[in-house]
Amino acid sequence: MRRKAIVANWKMNMDSASIGEFCSKIQDMTIKDDVIAGICVPALYFTQVKTALDKSKIKIGAQNAYFEEKGAYTGEISAAMLKDAGAELCIVGHSERRQLFGDTDEIVSKKLKAVLSKEITPILCVGEVLAQREEGTHKDHVKKQIESAFSGIGKEDAKKIIVAYEPIWAIGTGKVASAEDAEEMCGFIRSILALKYGDIAESILIQYGGSVKLENISELMKMQNIDGALVGGASLEAQSFESLVMKA
Ligand code: PGA
């Protein structure tokens, strides 16, 4: 049985006061044994959250990492630095990074390997834009993203990766993919991974992301190939995050 991973992606939101309040509300929250709960925070606040949730089972992560170990890369943060700060998760290849900050498939693949090399669990995001879905090229696009990211990754590392299928047209739009469409794509991703890794694909966690909220999480989580959710907007409020984790 695969576990379910519910991970908050705060993006560029929150400040130290709201984070303090958020953490004090969720520090004692119950997390079922078959659920992984995580929060990917802006790097600047990583240590604040890590310290505040020190006794909790919630995993704290970052939203991005640079692939080089160290050096003259102004403004960047390496996977080694994240590890040093205690990161357990790191989002890689989020569509906002791909669309706004030039993260190509090649860069995503390097970042994925850098994060894995530091024993941080990567959350690899893939997903199509609306035009691709309408043209019917969404599967080809996602297949290419998956094949590129997993190229050169062996079975042992493949098992450690969490994949997040996030159709870009559903992110922050309030327009959630139907549970059936999300299931179809998560199943499709698993079938691509099965071609490369055989049975290992059955143990890889595949999340859905895109306008997940209390009203739709239960339906999504019932699906066979959906192993949790990456949540943006609905993760910014403590009560909402806690309820999403409870419903996983
Ligand atoms: P959303 O964001 O839940 O606000 O749609 C999800 C994501 O971008 O990971």
Is 94 catalytic? The answer is yes
How crowded is the C-beta side of 16, counted as CA atoms within 13 Å?
5
| Residue pLDDT, tens place only, 191-224 | 999 999 999 999 999 999 999 999 999 999 999 9
Over pLDDT 70: what percentage of the chain? 100
| Residue of the CA atom closest to atom 6 of ligand 1 | 232
For the stretch 45-94, pLDDT in tens is 999 999 999 999 999 999 999 999 999 999 999 999 999 999 999 999 99
Residues 94, 96, 128, 183: which is the catalytic one?
A: 94
pLDDT at residue 32 above 90?
yes
Give the position, in ligand 1's atom list, of the atom nearest the Cα of 173. Answer: 5
Rounded mean pLDDT of 130-141? 96
Give me ligand 1 centre to Cα 103, in Å.
Answer: 18
Q: How many angstroms separate the most distant Cα atoms in the chain?
A: 48
Give the Å distance between the CA of 211 and the centre of ligand 1.
6
**216 in contact with ligand 1, CB cutoff 6 A:** no
Angle of helix 138-150 versus helix 105-117 axis, rounded to 10 = 40
9 near 235, Cβ under 8 Å?
yes
- CA distances (Å), 165 to each of 58, 183, 204, 208, in order? 22, 10, 13, 5
Q: Per-residue pLDDT for 10 more than 90?
A: yes
Spell out the alpha helix ranges (H) of the chain. Answer: 16-26, 46-52, 79-85, 95-100, 105-117, 130-135, 138-150, 155-158, 179-197, 214-221, 238-246
Cα of 192 from ligand 1 centre, angstroms: 24
11 has a pLDDT exceeding 90? yes
Is the Cα torsion angle 152, 154, 157, 160 positive or negative in sign? positive
Q: Which two tokens stand for residue 45?
A: 């606040």
Q: What is the mean pLDDT of residues 136-162?
A: 98
CA gyration radius, the chain: 17
Q: Tell me, what's the pLDDT at 172?
A: 87
Q: What pLDDT does 128 receive?
A: 97
Index of the ligand 1 atom closest to the CA of residue 125: 9
pLDDT of residue 1: 84
Ligand 1 lined by 7 (C-beta under 6 Å)? no
Percent over 90 (pLDDT), the chain: 97
Pocket of ligand 1 contains residue 233 by CB under 6 Å: yes
The pLDDT of residue 174: 83
Q: What is the pLDDT of residues 20-30, one digit of tens each?
A: 999 999 999 99
Give pTM, 2 decimals.
0.97
